[in-house]
């Protein structure tokens, strides 16, 4: 590389003494210029890199401004009165703009969910991990199909759980994915029982 530069500069001929006869003084000068060239290149690249990083830093706040804002983020929690939900019934409530299914399961539905072998499942999870201990009757899920975000319909499908009308995903009575294109079980939101009649979601 340096050699190439050397030849080129020589051919351009600052002080042409002939191809092979260069005084040691000039040789020094040329070597100096080659060095300068390399330095300049480094300086240029450093400047570009700095400008690039600066630009990226400047863009970042704008990209982040499109993320959920603080008021949206604030984990607005809601209290849900569950005293009026009868066995087998499902109540839909809104939490963070999403529908939440509060389902009071029948003994049949509970035992159906508990009987399933984990090996049969696409997204293996035991029913006991999806409900609170001692409150197996209550299944609380985010009512959004994990495929493309539609709201599944309760009490339908081959597994008597939920059926998504959009692309035919089917969930069982523990809201676990059993059939269709959805990859995951219905999500369980963070929630707790305040007392026997009220749950707090969020």
Partner 1 sequence: MSQNSPYDHDDKKLTPKQEIELFHSIENDVDTSITQTSKLAGWINDRLPIIASLENTLKKHPYPKNLSYWWNFGSIAGIALVIQILSGLFLAMHYVPNTQHAFDSVEHIMRDVNYGWLIRYIHAVGASMFFVALYAHIIRGLYYGSYKAPREILWWIGIIIFLLTMATAFMGYVLPWGQMSFWGATVITNLFSAIPVIGKSIVEWLWGGYSVDNPTLNRFFVLHFLMPFLIVGVVLLHLLALNTAGSNNPTGVPIKTKKDAIPFHPYFTIKDLVGFAVFFLIFGYFLFFYPNALGHPDNYIPANPLVTPTHIVPEWYFLPFYAILRAVPDKLGGVLMMFGAIILLFFLPFLDRSEVRSGAYRPLFKKFFYVFVINFIFLGWLGKSPAEGWYIWASRLTTFYYYAYFLLILPFLPRFEKVLQLPKSVDEHYQESHKKH
Rounded to 5 degrees, φ, ψ at 177 are: -70, 130
Distance between CA atoms of residues 102 and 143, nearest Å: 9
Give just the sign of the alpha carbon dihedral 40, 41, 46, 49.
positive
Rounded to 5 degrees, φ, ψ at 80 are: -115, 125
Q: Is 177 one of the binding residues for partner 1 (CB under 8 A)? A: no
Note the maximum CA span of the chain.
105
Select from 26-34, 110-118, 131-139, 147-155 the region that touches partner 1 (CB under 8 A): 147-155
Distance between CA atoms of residues 140 and 90, nearest Å: 10
Shortest separation between residue 175's beta carbon and partner 1, angstroms: 16
Mask 44-63, x = binds partner 1 (CB under 8 A)?
-------------------x
Nearer to partner 1, 44 or 167 (CB): 167
Nearer to partner 1, 87 or 148 (CB): 148
Distance between CA atoms of residues 196 and 179, nearest Å: 34
**Residues with active-site annotation:** 167
Select from 23-31, 64-72, 78-86, 133-141 the region that touches partner 1 (CB under 8 A): 64-72
Return residues touching partner 1 (CB under 8 A). 63, 66-69, 72, 92, 94, 96-99, 144, 147-153, 164-168, 181-183
């Amino acid at each position: 590389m340096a050699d190439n530069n050397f030849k080129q500069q020589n051919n351009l001929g600052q002080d042409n003494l002939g191809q092979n006869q260069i005084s040691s003084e000039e040789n020094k000068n040329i070597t100096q210029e080659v060095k300068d060239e390399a330095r300049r290149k480094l300086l240029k690249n450093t400047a570009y890199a700095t400008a690039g990083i600066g630009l990226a830093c400047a863009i970042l706040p704008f990209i982040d401004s499109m993320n959920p804002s603080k008021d949206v983020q604030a984990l607005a929690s809601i209290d849900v009165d569950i005293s009026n939900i009868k066995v087998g019934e499902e109540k839909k409530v809104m939490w963070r703009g999403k529908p939440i299914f509060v389902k009071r399961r029948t003994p049949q539905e509970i035992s159906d969910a508990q009987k399933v072998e984990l090996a049969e499942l696409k997204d293996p999870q035991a029913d006991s991990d999806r409900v609170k201990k001692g409150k197996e009757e209550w299944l609380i899920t985010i009512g959004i199909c994990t495929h493309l975000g539609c709201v599944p319909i309760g009490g339908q499908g081959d597994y008597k759980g939920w059926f998504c009308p959009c692309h035919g995903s089917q969930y069982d009575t523990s809201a676990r994915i059993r059939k269709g294109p959805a990859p995951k079980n219905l999500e369980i939101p963070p929630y707790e029982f305040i007392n026997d009649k009220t749950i707090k979601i969020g």
